[in-house]
Structure 1
Amino acid sequence: MFAHIADFLSRSPPDPVRLPLTGSHWPVLIILTTYMVLIKIVGPLFMRNRKPYDLIGVIKAYNIMQIIYNTVFLVFSVYFMLGPGNFNFKCITNLPLDHEYKNWERWLCYSYFFNKMLDLVETGFFVLRKKYRQISFLHVFHHVYMVYICFLYLYYFGYGGNGLFLVTLNVVVHIMMYTYYYQSSLSQNSQGDLWWKKYITIVQLAQFGIILCHSLYVLRQADCPASYLSATWGSLISVVFIILFGNFYVRAYILPRKKVPRRAH
């Protein structure tokens, strides 16, 4: 496996088309470092002696934008995979560079990467509203990981292929998530009062289960030219996220239920 990693990291990008922020590691690393400094140091210091900002209007607009953005991506991605891309889901490979629909594949993948950048804004809202409990390790790790892994995939593996199929599953989760955020912003109740909140985590766990099974299936096919490292990493990180999100689900929805005292008869 280490030989595969060394070979993978030493090779040149397979696609000569370098869309914004995908030509080098440095822009993405600077953005993520700035993000961490702002949410962990600068933001809390700025808000120390200030009251939480009322951002309900901005948050509503942001959630609506995310719902529309992710829905449009989902429609175009499914259409592309079943239509012009003609994906073989048993072994999904990138389209050739001279394929007539290669630019479709490039911009679809890039639009997902760009959206992961937009997702970072959400943490800024938490800081400005002093919702520090929501800036958990899982929240920060997930946002940072998604931005950088998308960059690594585009830089080292190219646009499309197996990665496009996997992120399309993730978009379904995000449509649910931002719909939930928007619905909760319309109510005076807390987010925890919305009965279907826990099902977002269940869908996330199902998503990682599908990714794990599909990645393992790809690895079992010796004649599949899809990236060995991509499938290996997909399976490993799926296990990590299943553990993290599974732990969150247990602590948020199972343990509190057990602590509720039984009524006296």
Structure 2
Amino acid sequence: MGSSAFEIFYRAPADPIVAQYMPLLSSQWPVTIILLCYLLFVLKLGKIFMEHRKPYDLKNVILVYNVCQMIYNAFMFGVGFYYIILHPAYDLRCMQPGAEDHPDKSVERWITCSYFLNKVLDLLDTVFFVLRKSYKQITVLHVYHHVLMVFGVYWWVRLCGVGGQYMMTGFFNSFVHTVMYFYYFISAMYPELKSSLWWKKYITRIQIGQFILLFMQAALVLLFNPTCEFPMSMQYLQLFQSSLMTAMFGNFYYHAYVKPKNQKQQ
């Protein structure tokens, strides 16, 4: 635990201008406190609070939340589609963060901050589970994924700046969440249709697909463009994290859809 760890924790942000867009990114403490409070509530204090209470009726709140999240994610996906596909701001063979004098640098900062805020808002999913006493939905995968997305985005921006290769993560993730929150809205609005929404399992397949694509992105850069100046450690981290999430979501898919189907056929 030498000075290197201390320096990493307390070093100045890679892009200090980001703090003007999003105060939560100005220091490690706001995001750390938010996540500690989140974990304490969803894993311990929330259950104690709800122990002698009936589940709250949050249907209207959840409907509004799902619609807002669906629109929010669809908008971010649209912006990403424009700047990654239609009007490329990056070389897809080596997605470096934009230079300070790049005409789209302010957009890069704005969309990164918007994505980070969306990941913080995603934490409300688990809070709603607790208040409705839907504890079975608070899985290791669910909590780990939420914490990873908030903490991961913060530290990426803090250490490396906005944009770059990890913009592809936000691009894919925003599409997945647009579809996911649309499903949540339909199932909350019309609970009688929940059992007949056959395409629910395909949301998990799309989630697995995004991690496979992210694995391929990092692998292709490492294999065919080793001179890319995107941090090598981040390439390997993307390989590891994509593999881990593919395995975790694959395990969930097997136990939720494949195993029950096999048991019915026996």
TM-score, normalised by the number of residues in structure 2: 0.91
Segments of structure 1 that go 5 or more residues without pairing to the other structure are none
Give the corresponding residue for 1:226: 230
Question: Quick check: 63-72 or 226-235, which moved more?
Answer: 226-235
* Alpha-carbon displacement from aligned partner over 1:193-225 (angstroms, at most 9, x marks no partner): 421110011001110000000011112222111
User: 187, 192, 197: which is aligned to 1:189?
Assistant: 192
- TM superposition shift of 1:167: 1.2
Distance in 1, matches of 2:46 and 2:8, equals 37
Q: Which amino acid aligns with 1:234?
A: Q
Relative distance call for 1:240 and 1:7 in structure 2 (3 A) is farther
Tell me which protein shows more helix as a share of its residues. 2
1:16 and 2:16 matched: yes
Give the corresponding residue for 2:250: 246
- TM superposition shift of 1:124: 0.8
User: 139, 144, 149: which is aligned to 2:142?
Assistant: 139
- TM superposition shift of 1:166: 2.0
User: 237, 246, 260: which is aligned to 2:264?
Assistant: 260
Give the corresponding residue for 1:158: 161
Relative distance call for 1:231 and 1:191 in structure 2 (3 A) is farther
- TM superposition shift of 1:11: 6.4
- TM superposition shift of 1:14: 2.8
- Kept in 1: contact 2:208–2:249 (CA 8 A): yes
Equivalences for residues 54-133 of structure 1 within 5 A: 54-82=57-85, 86-133=89-136
Q: Secondary structure of the residue that 1:21 maps to in structure 2?
A: helix
- TM superposition shift of 1:192: 4.6
Q: Secondary structure of the residue that 2:106 maps to in structure 1?
A: helix
TM-score, normalised by the number of residues in structure 1: 0.91
- Kept in 2: contact 1:84–1:101 (CA 8 A): no
Distance in 2, matches of 1:101 and 1:163, equals 17
* Alpha-carbon displacement from aligned partner over 1:231-258 (angstroms, at most 9, x marks no partner): 1111100000011000000000011111
Segments of structure 2 that go 5 or more residues without pairing to the other structure are none
Q: Which amino acid aligns with 1:104?
A: V
Q: How many percent identity over aligned positions?
A: 38
Question: Quick check: 122-131 or 222-231, which moved more?
Answer: 222-231
- TM superposition shift of 1:169: 0.7
- TM superposition shift of 1:159: 0.5
- TM superposition shift of 1:80: 2.2
Q: Which amino acid aligns with 2:113?
A: Y
* Alpha-carbon displacement from aligned partner over 1:10-55 (angstroms, at most 9, x marks no partner): 9653323132111221111110000011112221111111111111
Q: Give the ranges of 4+ consecutive aligned residues of structure 1 lying more than 2 Å apart after TM superposition.
A: 5-14, 80-86, 188-193
- Kept in 1: contact 2:18–2:109 (CA 8 A): no
Distance in 1, matches of 2:6 and 2:173, equals 28
* Alpha-carbon displacement from aligned partner over 1:155-213 (angstroms, at most 9, x marks no partner): 01100111112210111110111011011012233745421110011001110000000
- Kept in 2: contact 1:15–1:97 (CA 8 A): no
Give the aligned CA root-mean-square deviation in angstroms: 2.1
Q: Secondary structure of the residue that 1:51 maps to in structure 2?
A: coil
Number of positions where the alignment pairs a residue of Structure 1 with one of Structure 2:
259
